[in-house]
Amino acid sequence: MKNYRVISLLVCIVFTTNYSFGQTPINTVSTVSTIVVPGSSSAQTTRSHTNSVNTILPSTNYNLNYNNNGNVNIISFSLSGKTYVRFKNFDTVIIRRAANAWETTGGNKQHIYVEGAAAVNNVTFNMPFPAAFPQVSGYSYMQKVMKEGYINRGSDNVFNNDSASDLTYNNIERVDFVYKPGMTASNIVSAGFLIAERGGNDPFKIAAITGIDANGNPTSFGPVRSVGTASYGGIIMSAATYVMRKDPADNNLRPFSLVPSQGIRSVFIRLGDLGIASLQRVYGYALMGNDVTASTSAQVLNYTNTTYFPRTTTTANGGMDLASAPGIFETDFVLAGHYLTLTVENKSCRQELEWNDNDFMQAKAYQVERSMDGNNFEPLKTVNATQESKNIFTD
């Protein structure tokens, strides 16, 4: 779907909107379920985990086949009569780990889940999946799965670090979803982040990333917000999923558990919900367990401090089964065009506006607006997109 770009002679537009902060359940979603990811088909024979459960036999060789022909991606959703489309996916996902009682080094434990058959085949030991295998280096499976946006893959019990059992507990305190160029929104109620979760019933905490360093690491955050179970919307899709587990000493993902069919639900968190002001630059968001007590930017940064990030997070507070991040969503006229190279020249008392848009193939038209005070804007003209990046408008 091609989008409109909004341009003004002061580079961006401003809206003032009064509304109550709160997350929004999403019930009407459009998906594509036949996406093929290049290079991500994989057939492998892998020995299951020694403590496998839920009809996956322990220490048993299974024939895994990531068929890579049924990856499910959200392309748009409807809310209050408006259609929201994806602006961008995230550049990187950074998992912040800390040592706890079960894993004293904070090592690289990995849990992903992937859509599969409703029952484990313990006759032929074939285990087919319609989704892609996360081809990675350095065993960073979760990072790749979390950022690619295919919601029939995800990560299991992300923030659970209670070592009372050998189920899918982790050593994760914070997960950062980073969009390095950053973005600004003219209307903070019509742009934000769509978050999907298997089961649609686990609470969590979230804060906007308001600053990053040269390497994309967050340096500052907005206010911490709580998202409860009632915030999730209707079922987008239902699927049985297989949890694949890699302990720090393992060399690959191993079959661990079958989770019977659950619905995947989502919640839309607007930039305004996260305390972001109109035209304030934001670089993504950080997710945390529901028992995190951090409330300031400095405290969110300090994820190794047990005062703010407990090491005894139970499934009730940390059991978020995070589906792969659908991404950043917007309505047509919201996100400011940071991707435009724009110049303005005065010619005979008229302003000539010239811009170059590297994403011009995704643009349907450009709306040009004018302001005399930087606060109140009036539409001038809608300029249809051309078949090249360069555009000129004279006021």
Edge-to-edge strands of the sheet including 390-394? 340-347, 350-357, 390-394
Instruction: Assign 392 a pLDDT band (cuts: 50, 70, 90).
Output: confident
Q: Is pLDDT at 99 greater than 70 in this prediction?
A: yes
Identify the domain boundary among 330, 350, 378: 330
pLDDT of 301 > 60? The answer is yes
Residue 66: pLDDT band by 50, 70, 90 thresholds? very high
Question: What's the token pair of residue 27?
Answer: 């019930």
**Phi then psi for 285, rounded to 5 degrees?**
-150, 160
In-domain check, residue 386: yes
Q: Are residues 241 and 379 located together in one domain of the fold? A: no
Mean pLDDT for the stretch of residues 41-70: 97
Give CA–CA dist 146/322, Å, rounded: 8
Q: Quick check: 230 and 265 in contact, CB under 8 A?
A: no
Q: What is the pLDDT of residues 74-95, one digit of tens each?
A: 989 998 888 898 888 999 999 9
**pLDDT value for 13:** 27
Which pLDDT belongs to residue 15?
30
Is residue 6, in this structure, part of any structural domain at all? no
Percent of the chain with pLDDT over 70: 83
Tell me: do 225 and 152 sit in the same domain.
yes
Residue 293 lies in a domain: yes
- Any domain includes 8: no
Same domain, 375 and 322: no
Residue 395: pLDDT over 70: no
| Domain end position, chosen among 330, 361, 380 | 330
Q: pLDDT band for position 380 (50/70/90)?
A: confident
Between 381 and 338, the higher pLDDT residue: 381
Cα dist from 2 to 15, 21, 332, 363, 385, whole Å: 23, 30, 9, 5, 10
Q: Are residues 382 and 260 in the same domain?
A: no
How much is the average pLDDT of 332-358?
A: 64
Instruction: For residue 360, give Cα distances in angstroms to 305, 365, 385.
Output: 46, 9, 7
Classify residue 1: in a domain, yes or no. Answer: no
Mean pLDDT, residues 250-265 taken together? 96
Look at residues 299, 330, 361 and tell me which one is the last residue of a structural domain.
330
The confidence score (pLDDT) of residue 246 equals 94
Residues 46 and 173 occupy one common structural domain: yes
Taking the complete model, does pTM exceed 0.85, yes or no?
Answer: no
pLDDT at 7 over 60: no
Provide the number of structural domains found in the chain: 2
Mean pLDDT of 45-66: 97
Mean pLDDT of the chain: 86
pLDDT at 233: 95
Domain that holds residue 374: 340-394
Higher pLDDT, 370 or 377: 370
Encode pLDDT of 10-48 as tens digits. Answer: 333 233 333 345 678 888 899 988 888 888 999 999 999
Do residue 219 and residue 139 come from a single domain? Answer: yes
